C-alpha cells in the first residue's frame, strides 16, 4: 500500500505551458490549420506529458500482464484455461500477435506473471511477480483480497518504473488471461451502474451458454460481493483480475514518471478506468490506441472521455492495438521535429 500511495502522490498534471508552446508551433507549421488532425493533438499531448517541445519516444516497451481467472469454472469461455500459460511462455519467444506488431518499431515486449494459475519456468524470460495462482471464482466470493488487489497494482508500478529507469520513454499496456473479458465487464458494470448484458461481449470465445449466460454470471458475482462503486480497489478485489490491476499500476507509474502510456482495447481501458478512479490526473498521460470490438469498449472510453485513434475491428488483446499505434506517435514526433514552420521555410528559401 505504501508504494501505491507514494506513486499516487507523485502524479501531477501535464505541463500546460509546454502544451501551449507546442500548439503554437503546430499551428505555425507549413500546412492549413488542423490539416494533420489527430497527429497534431497527439504531438501537443506528448509535449505536455514530457515537458519537451520535441518529445523523444525512441525507447518503447509493451508490458504484458498475465493472470488466470477463477470465474473460468463457470463456463464463461470456450477456450482452454491452459492457453494462458501457453501464450505467456510464447511472448518471450516473439511468437504472438503483439510481438509481431511490436517489431515494427523495435519495441521490447516485457512479459509479467502476476497471477498465472501454474508455476512457470524461471528461465523462460517471464518476470515472475505472482500475487496468487489466479483469482478466486467471483461467482462464489471475492476474486481476491483487498491486499492482493493492491499488490497486483504495485506489481505494475514496480515493473513500469524499472523500465523507465532503464531508459524506456514510451509504455504500452497488454494482457493475457483466458476469461478476462468477464471481470472487465463486471468492473464496468459496477462503475457505470448498468446491467452486465449491456457491456458483455463475445470475448475470445464465449462459452456454451452464450453472452446472456456470461452476463448472468457477472450479475450473480456483483450481487454476491457488493463491490463499492466509489472504491476502485474494492471493485478490483471483488470482481476484477490480477492482470487488470497490473495494467492499472503500469498506467499509474507512467503518469508518476511523466511517460506517455498507450493503452490497448477493452481490458486495458478497464484498467485505465481503475487507475483514473484512483488518480484523475492519469487521464492526461493515457493515449488510447484502438476501439475494440467488445461492446463495453466504447462505453469505457466514453467514461474516460478519450477517443481511440484507430478502428481496426480488432479484439485480440495482448497489447496488439497499442503496439500498432506506436508508429503513429513516431509520426507525431517527426512532424514536430522535421516539419518547418512557414517562417522557417521562408528564411531557408531566402538564403
CA angle 263, 299, 49 (to 5 degrees): 35
Round to whole Å and give the CA distance between 20 and 34.
Answer: 15
Q: Are 341 and 333 in contact (CB under 8 A)?
A: no
* Three-point CA angle 143, 228, 152, nearest 5°: 40
Supply the residues annotated as catalytic. 318
- Find cell 517471464 and name the residue: 126
The three-state secondary structure class of 48 is helix
Which of 96, 99, 132, 98 shows the shortest CA–CA distance to 114? 132
Cell of 50: 514530457
As a whole number of angstroms, the distance between CA 263 and CA 56 comes to 19
Backbone angles phi, psi at 316, to 5 degrees: -75, -40
Query: Residue 308 and residue 325: Cα distance in Å, rounded?
Result: 10
Q: Which three cell numbers stand for residue 27?
A: 499551428
Could you give the angle at which helices 320-338 and 16-28 cross, rounded to 10 degrees?
70
- Does residue 146 contact residue 136 with C-beta atoms inside 8 Å? no
Q: What share of the chain is helix, strand, coil (3-state, %, to 5)?
A: 55, 10, 35
Phi, psi (deg, nearest 5) at residue 265: -95, -130
Amino acid at each position: 500500500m505504501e508504494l501505491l500511495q507514494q506513486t499516487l502522490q507523485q502524479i501531477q498534471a501535464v505541463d500546460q505551458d509546454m502544451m501551449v508552446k507546442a500548439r503554437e508551433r503546430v499551428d505555425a507549421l507549413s500546412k492549413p490549420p488542423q490539416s494533420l488532425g489527430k497527429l497534431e493533438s497527439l504531438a501537443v499531448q506528448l509535449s505536455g506529458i514530457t515537458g519537451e517541445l520535441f518529445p523523444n519516444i525512441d525507447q518503447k516497451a509493451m508490458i504484458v500482464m498475465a493472470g488466470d481467472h477463477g470465474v473460468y469454472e463457470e463456463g464463461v469461455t470456450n477456450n482452454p484455461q491452459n492457453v494462458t500459460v501457453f501464450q505467456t511462455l510464447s511472448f518471450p519467444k516473439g511468437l504472438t500477435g503483439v510481438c509481431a506488431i511490436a517489431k515494427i518499431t523495435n519495441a521490447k515486449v516485457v512479459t509479467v506473471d502476476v497471477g498465472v494459475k501454474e508455476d512457470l519456468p524461471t528461465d523462460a524470460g517471464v518476470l515472475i511477480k505472482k500475487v496468487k495462482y489466479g483469482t478466486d471464482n467471483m461467482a462464489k466470493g471475492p476474486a481476491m483480497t483487498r491486499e492482493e488487489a493492491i499488490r497486483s497494482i504495485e506489481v505494475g508500478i514496480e515493473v513500469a518504473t524499472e523500465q523507465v529507469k532503464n531508459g524506456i520513454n514510451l509504455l504500452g499496456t497488454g494482457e493475457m488471461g483466458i476469461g478476462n473479458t468477464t471481470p472487465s465487464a463486471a468492473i464496468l458494470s459496477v462503475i457505470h451502474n448498468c446491467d452486465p448484458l449491456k457491456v458483455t461481449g463475445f470475448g475470445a470465445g464465449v462459452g456454451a451458454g452464450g453472452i446472456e449466460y456470461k452476463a448472468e454470471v457477472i450479475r450473480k458475482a456483483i450481487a454476491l460481493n457488493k463491490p463499492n462503486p466509489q472504491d476502485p480497489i474494492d471493485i478490483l478485489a471483488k470482481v476484477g483480475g490480477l492482470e487488470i490491476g497490473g495494467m492499472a499500476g503500469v498506467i499509474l507509474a507512467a503518469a508518476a514518471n511523466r511517460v506517455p502510456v498507450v493503452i490497448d482495447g477493452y481490458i486495458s481501458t478497464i484498467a485505465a478506468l481503475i487507475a483514473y478512479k484512483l488518480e484523475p490526473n492519469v487521464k492526461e498521460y493515457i493515449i488510447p490506441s484502438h476501439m475494440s470490438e467488445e461492446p463495453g469498449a466504447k462505453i469505457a472510453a466514453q467514461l474516460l472521455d478519450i477517443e481511440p485513434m484507430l478502428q481496426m475491428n480488432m479484439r485480440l488483446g495482448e497489447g496488439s492495438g497499442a503496439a500498432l499505434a506506436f508508429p503513429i506517435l513516431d509520426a507525431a514526433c517527426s512532424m514536430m521535429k522535421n516539419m518547418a514552420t512557414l517562417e522557417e521555410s521562408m528564411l531557408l528559401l531566402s538564403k
